[in-house]
Amino acid sequence: MKAEKSPPEPVPRKDLLELLNSSSDLIIVLDRRYNIVNASASVYAQMGYCKENLVDRKVTTLFPTARRVADATRVFNSLRNKGEWTGELTLLRVDGSTVKVKANAIICRESGDCAVLTAEILTYRELLSQERWSSDESLRPVVESMPDGLLVFNSANVVVLCNTAMSHMIGECPTEIIGVRPPFAWINPATRPAFLRGLKIFQKEGGLQNYTLIWRRRDEAHRALSIAFSHLYDPSGAKSGFVVSARDLTGVQYVEDLRRADDQMHRLIDDVKRKAERLRTLQATNTLVLRYASISRIFQAITSGVKKLVPHDLAGIYVYDPAKQAFVSHTLSKLTHFSRKLAKFPLPLGEGIVGAAALSGKVVCVNNAQQDPRSRYPSGMKPDIEHVIAVPLKGRESIFGVIVVARNHDPGFIEEETLVVESFADAATVALENARLYQELRNSRKTGKNAPLPAAPSDDSSTAASENNRSRVTQKSVATRAD
């Protein structure tokens, strides 16, 4: 079986060849590997090459050695990614001299993906304009128009140039500044050590940027400046001095103060919104209390309020069960497979973070509770990360339950979130106390005492009564164990 031959390199179309013979621009045709296939007559005439010196050679032959890699990278990458490139190039003549050109390269899909490089030699007027901006006469107005201050020192640490902006920052005219060396009489003595300290850091480390100091001029005016030191090099590349530039940050300080004030305003607005939502939740809870709603409805309103203000993965209210001698879940904010399993797991009195909150009667906030030795989890249910807030529910006689809020992701709880949960715990306490008083009134009514009886609860009062009885037993049991 004969091996398949690779397809031949594409041949430029006839119209491209005609263009080569008629154009005065430098036109070079390249194959897919960027080898030179053909060139216009102007290339040979103005660059000094003959056809044998160019054809079948890489186009990078025309790039000066010092810039060959950089120029080839930017041209070829653009051709591969965009199919074209436009910019300035420096090309190498056969005698070793160089010429600057405005060039355009494009991929010709119709001619087998060959590339065409078209270049126009910059005119003498254009080159003269570029040289003019590089001359000392043109650079002086640029330096004078800079908003940043500029000092140039020679190798003997003598000031040889000072622009107008720096003169204003110092508070002296340029003739009083040029020709002096450190220490500077025109800088306030209080500022001079800081400036010299920055100069020593620069001489030791070879560079210094964003060095901030307060500049006190001779007229006692204050300027907040950001100073930068950099080396000055001569055309041969040798160090010939250093440059100090300064940016006036005096106005920036006021902008920064305004930004901080704006941030503070936004924080206050957010705080007011949170407090308003918190008040709405407490108002709804108190309305349920006044209507003698069932404990379940009140607890659900409280966990719903926590959900609105404190991001969490699970929130619940645990009450003490004397039969189990442990805290059991009464209301959970989310009913999932995980929460159902957790609801069946009792929390013994005195154990775990919930038990610690019940016995101490104080709020317990533990971030990374999974690492706390007090934590208790059902078998196989220990989370990778958990932050916990536990707030005891305090009755008149003892503690009857605990509000628990858990988050299984970062960040941890902050003090403000703990205060929100604590306020809802107070609402739960009021609800339980109200239910206890209502049950006492009902009992006194049954025994024949003429005590006033409030209106009947709007929800299931038998459920509320049973929960109230359990609450009183709970309070007594917790109090006994706490003692």
Backbone angles phi, psi at 35, to 5 degrees: -85, 145
Please write the tens of the pLDDT for every residue from 247-290: 887 766 565 666 677 778 877 887 787 777 767 777 777 777 66
The reported pLDDT for the residue numbered 96 is: 84
The reported pLDDT for the residue numbered 214 is: 78
pLDDT string in tens for the chain (483-residue length): 444 444 444 444 455 555 566 667 788 888 888 888 888 888 888 888 888 888 888 888 888 888 888 888 888 888 888 888 888 888 888 888 888 888 888 887 766 678 888 888 765 554 445 555 445 565 677 787 888 888 888 888 888 888 888 888 888 888 788 888 877 777 777 777 888 888 888 888 888 888 888 777 767 677 788 888 888 888 777 888 889 888 887 766 565 666 677 778 877 887 787 777 767 777 777 777 667 677 777 777 777 777 777 888 888 788 878 787 778 777 777 666 666 777 777 777 777 888 788 878 888 888 888 888 888 777 777 888 889 888 888 766 677 788 888 888 888 888 888 888 887 787 777 776 776 777 677 777 766 555 454 444 444 433 433 344 444 434 443 333 333
Which domains, ranges and CATH numbers included, belong to the chain?
14-123 (3.30.450.20), 139-248 (3.30.450.20), 277-482 (3.30.450.40)
> 35-45 burial string, b = 16+ CB within 10 Å, else e?
bbbbbbebbbe
Give the list of residues 6+ apart from residue 197 with CB closer than 8 angstroms, or none. Answer: none
CA dist 479 and 475 (Å) reads 6
CA dist 425 and 405 (Å) reads 11
CA dist 416 and 174 (Å) reads 58
Please write the tens of the pLDDT for every residue from 414-458: 888 888 888 778 777 777 677 677 767 777 776 655 545 444 444
Is residue 401 within 8 Å of 327, Cβ to Cβ? yes
Q: If we measure between CA atoms, which residue out of 139, 154, 142, 79 comes closest to residue 115? A: 79
Q: Which residues pair with 317 in a beta bridge?
A: 331, 403
The reported pLDDT for the residue numbered 204 is: 84
